[in-house]
Structure 1
Amino acid sequence: MALELYVWGPALGLDSIDPECLAAVACLRRLVPRGDWSLIASNDATAGPGCRLPALSHSGVWTSGYANILSYLARHGIFHIDDGLTTLQKADSLAYASFLATRGAGLVAMSLYVSPRAWAEITRPAYSSLLPFPLTWTIPSAVRAAAVQTAEHLGIGHLAAEVDAEEPLPSSGIAETTTTGFLRLRHRLGPSRTMQPEHAASIRFQHFAEDFYHVMDQLRGDKKFFLQDDKPSSLDFLAYGYLQLMRVRTPHPILKTALEKSYSRLAGFLSEMEAFEHGQDLPWREPAPRGALGLISSFAAGSLEAVPGVDNGWRKWRDGGVQEGCGGDGASHPTQVVVAIGGAVASVVALCVVALFRALSPFGASTHRFEQIKENDANDTGLKKFGEVGMLLDGLPVWELPEVAPPPSSSPR
C-alpha cells in the first residue's frame, strides 16, 4: 500500500495552512501506520484531480478533498472511521461538516485573509515561504480573492469597518421640527458614535465568532469527542483543522481570545486531539520539482486569471483542456505545453498593456507641457512668447486697415 498525501504547508506553526489539509494530516497520522503513507507539502493545487488540496495518490489513483479521501479509504478497506456511528450521528456529522465548511470557512477567511493587517503581516508572508518565484505574484492573490468571496457569500462582508456619515448641520438658525410639530432633537453622543469604526467591526465579528463556538460547544457537550466518547470521527478531525487555524494569533486575535476564554470545552477538545500527536513525527517527503515548464504554466494561468474580462473564459478553457493533467504522473501533456507557451506570451502582453495603461494620463484630464524659455525669445514682444499657438498666430499675415480721409472741416459763414 503506497499512500501519498499532498497538502499545503507547513505554515503558521501548524502542519498546514488549510483546514482540510490539517484534518487529513491528523486523520492519517492517527489511523494509518507511519510506514504505510508519506506526506508531501507540494503546495501545488494541480497535483490532484479538480486542482484541489488535499490530494491522495494510492498506487496511481488520485482523490482530492477531505471527504472524498475518507470515502475512498473506506471503500478500499484501509480504515472505516465512521462505521461505528448511528444513523442520527451520521446525519449530524454531515450537517456539522457543512456548517464548518461554510460558517467556519468564513470566519477563517475574515481572520487570516480579509483582514488587511493579518494578510500583510501573517498570511501573505506564509504563502511566500511556501511558493517558488514567480508564483508568489499570482497564487496568493487568487487564494485571497477566493477567501473574500467565501466571506461575502455567507453574508458577513458587512463586518468591514464602516464610517457613519456625519450629521448635517442646519443651514439656518431656525429650529427644525418634525411632521407632527414637535422640535427635532439632535442625536446624543452615545457609545456607538464615539466608537472607532474598527472597534465596531470587531464587536460584530466577535458576535459571529461566539455564535459559531456556541453551536459547536453545544454539539460536543461533556463528551470526549463531538459525537462519541470512545474514538474520534471524521467530524472531529475536520473541526480540529478549523479550530487550529482559528487559534492562530493575528493582529486582532478575536477568534483565539473568544475560544480560549469563553469556550474552555472546545479548547480542551484541541488539547485532547493534540495529546496523541506529541512525539510522533510525520512522514514528510520532498515534493518532485515542478520544472521550468510547470512554473511557466502556473504563472501564465494565474496571470490570465487576474485580467478582468479574460478570467472566466480562460478558466473554462483551461479546465476543459488540461483537466486530465491534474493528478497525472508529472509528464508534459501536449495541451499543457500549448497552455504554457501561449499563456506565457499572453501574460507578458497583458502585463505590458497594464503598464502602458497606468502610464497614460486619466481620460479627460488636461495635459500640461513645460519647456524652458530660450534666451533669444525672452525679450520677444510678439506672440511667440505664448508658445506654439502664439508662434502659429504670429506667422499669419497682417492686413492693415485702409486709411480713411478725415471729413472736410466746414468754415464759418
Structure 2
Amino acid sequence: MSFELHVWGPALGRDSIDAECLAAIAAFRHIFAPSEWSLIASNDTYLSPEHTLPALFHGGLWTSGYTNIISYLTWHTTSCDERLSDNDLTSQQEADLLAYSSYLSTRGSGLIALSLYASPNAWVELTRPAYSELLPFPLTWTIPTTIRAAAIDKAESLGMGYIAAEAEADEAAAQGPAETTSTGFLRLRQQLGPRKSMQPEQTAAIRFQQLADDFFTTLDELQGAEKYLLQTSIPSSLDFLAYGYLELMQVQTPFPILARSLMANGRPSAQFLQTMRAQSQDYVLPWEEPAPLGLPRTMLVFADGAIESIAGAGESWRRWRRGGIENEQGEQAQTLTPTLVAVGSVVAGLAAAGAAVILRGIPSFGATTHRFEAPKEEKGLHRFGEIGAMLDVLPIFDQPPTPSSSL
C-alpha cells in the first residue's frame, strides 16, 4: 500500500515552504523508491485531525508532524531499519536526538520566523507572494496571516518580536501617528534611542547575527568532523530535520543574515547541507496533483479562519474543533455554547453565500496592501468591516442597555 505524504508546496526555490515538510520529503526520498510513495502539495492543514502539515495518509489513517511520521514509519516498514539509524542508537545518541530535535523546532523555527515572516521586507517580497501562489483565493486572506502571527510569537520568544514593526493601536494613540522611513517602513519608537532612524532589520542585525552564530555553532559542535550529526554511519531522523531547517535558512532574503552566517568561515553545517543535497540530486520526486478543494470546502475553510480571528470566540472555536473544550471536571465537552454556535453558523453561511461578492471585491493576496481603520467613535461589531456590520444586526449580538445611574 503506497504512502501519501501531504505537504506545503514548493516555494522560495525549495521543495516546500515549510521546514518539517522539507525534512519529511528528504527522509522519504532516502527511505523509499519513487514507486513506493506519492508526494502531494495539498497545502491543506485541514486534511488531518491535528491540522498540521506534513501529514501522512496510509492504511486509512492520518499521521501529522515530522516526528510522528518517522515514528509511524519505524513501526510499519522495514526500510527504516535499513536506511535510518534511529533504532541502532546508543542511549547518549537517543538523548541527543531528542534534545537537538527540540532545539531545531524551537530555536531553528524561531530564526526562520525572524528571517521569513517577522521581517517586513521578506514577508512582502518573498513569503507572502509565495503563499499567494500556493493557496486558492480567498484562503490567501486568512491562512497566511494566521501563520505569520504564530511566527511572530516565535520571534518574540527570542526577544525580537519588534522586528515585525507592527504598530499597536494603543501605542499609536499615545504617541501620535507612526513615522515612516523613505522606503515606507515604520520607524522604531523613541524609547529605542539612537536606533530610531533605522529600519527594524538594521536595528536587530547585531542581535540576530548573534543568535544565528550561536545556532550554527551548536550544530557544528554536535557534528564534529563526522558526516552526520550523531556520528552515525547512516543518517538519522535528526539529520533530515536539520536539513529541512538549513534549507530555509539559506534562502536569500532582503537581509540574508542567516544565509551569510551559515556560509561563513567554512562551517561544518554548510558542508553538511551540501552532503544531504548531493544524496538526492538524481532522485525524481513522485509528485501527484492534489484533489481540488472545490468552492464549498474552500469557503468553509475560509469561514473557519474568519471565526478564529474573532476576539473572544476564536480561541474557544479552535479548541473545540481540535478536540473539545474541557469542562470543570477535566472532561471533553463537545458542545459549543449557543453564542459560539451562532457565530460559527452565521460566519460560515455568510462566507458561502457571499463568495461571489468577496471574489469580485477583494484583490488577490500578495497584491498591494491596504490598511483600513474604523472611526474611533464607532462601537459594536460593525467596526470590524462589512461582515461585522452584518453580524451586528443579529439579536445575539445586541448590546446590553446601559444601566441608569442611581441618585
Change (3 A) 1:52 1:194: closer
Alignment partners' CA distance in 2, 1:3 and 1:359 = 48
Residue 301 of structure 1 corresponds to 304
Match 2:130 to one of 110, 126, 129 = 126
Residue 196 of structure 1 corresponds to 198
**Percent identity over paired residues:** 51
Residue 298 of structure 1 aligns with an amino acid whose one-letter code is: V
Residue 29 of structure 1 aligns with an amino acid whose one-letter code is: R
Residue 244 of structure 1 corresponds to 247
Q: Which runs of 4+ in 1 moved over 6 A?
A: 192-195, 348-352
Alignment of 1:191-230 (within 5 A): 196=198, 198=200, 199-230=202-233
Residue 72 of structure 1 corresponds to 72
Q: CA RMSD in A?
A: 2.8
Residue 103 of structure 2 corresponds to 99
Residue 118 of structure 2 corresponds to 114
Alignment partners' CA distance in 2, 1:197 and 1:163 = 11
Counterpart check, 1:268 vs 2:271: yes
Residue 377 of structure 2 corresponds to 363
Alignment partners' CA distance in 2, 1:166 and 1:111 = 21
Residue 181 of structure 2 corresponds to none
Q: Deviations over 1:319-339 (max 9, x none)?
A: 347xxxxxxxxxxxxxxxx99
Q: Deviations over 1:100-138 (max 9, x none)?
A: 000001000010000001000000000000001111111
SS in 1 for 2:8: coil
Counterpart check, 1:157 vs 2:171: no
Q: CA deviation at 1:294?
A: 1.0
Alignment partners' CA distance in 1, 2:143 and 2:312 = 19
Residue 276 of structure 2 aligns with an amino acid whose one-letter code is: M
Q: Does the CA-based 8 Å contact 2:220-2:267 persist in structure 1?
A: no
Alignment partners' CA distance in 2, 1:359 and 1:214 = 45
Q: Does the CA-based 8 Å contact 1:300-1:344 persist in structure 2?
A: yes
Q: Does the CA-based 8 Å contact 1:160-1:201 persist in structure 2?
A: no
Alignment partners' CA distance in 2, 1:203 and 1:194 = 15
Residue 384 of structure 1 corresponds to none
SS in 2 for 1:83: helix
Residue 24 of structure 1 corresponds to 24
Alignment partners' CA distance in 2, 1:361 and 1:50 = 39
Alignment partners' CA distance in 2, 1:313 and 1:88 = 41
Residue 390 of structure 1 corresponds to none
Q: Does the CA-based 8 Å contact 1:159-1:204 persist in structure 2?
A: no
Normalization by structure 2: what TM-score? Answer: 0.73
Give the total of aligned pairs.
320
Residue 272 of structure 2 aligns with an amino acid whose one-letter code is: F
Q: CA deviation at 1:348?
A: 8.4
Q: CA deviation at 1:195?
A: 8.1
Residue 248 of structure 2 aligns with an amino acid whose one-letter code is: L
Match 1:86 to one of 77, 82, 90 = 90
Normalization by structure 1: what TM-score? Answer: 0.72
Q: Deviations over 1:57-115 (max 9, x none)?
A: 11211111101011111111342320121110010010000000000010000100000
SS in 2 for 1:25: helix
Change (3 A) 1:101 1:149: same
Q: Deviations over 1:294-317 (max 9, x none)?
A: 101100011111222221122123
Higher alpha-carbon Rg: 1
Q: Does the CA-based 8 Å contact 1:247-1:255 persist in structure 2?
A: yes
Q: CA deviation at 1:194?
A: 10
Alignment partners' CA distance in 2, 1:265 and 1:65 = 27
Counterpart check, 1:232 vs 2:235: yes
Residue 146 of structure 2 corresponds to 142
Residue 302 of structure 1 aligns with an amino acid whose one-letter code is: G
Q: Does the CA-based 8 Å contact 1:163-1:197 persist in structure 2?
A: no
SS in 2 for 1:277: coil
Q: Does the CA-based 8 Å contact 2:152-2:164 persist in structure 1?
A: no
Q: Does the CA-based 8 Å contact 2:160-2:204 persist in structure 1?
A: no
Residue 44 of structure 1 aligns with an amino acid whose one-letter code is: D
Residue 336 of structure 2 corresponds to none
Change (3 A) 1:349 1:207: farther
Residue 110 of structure 1 aligns with an amino acid whose one-letter code is: L
Change (3 A) 1:274 1:206: same
SS in 2 for 1:208: helix
SS in 1 for 2:279: helix
Residue 300 of structure 2 aligns with an amino acid whose one-letter code is: S
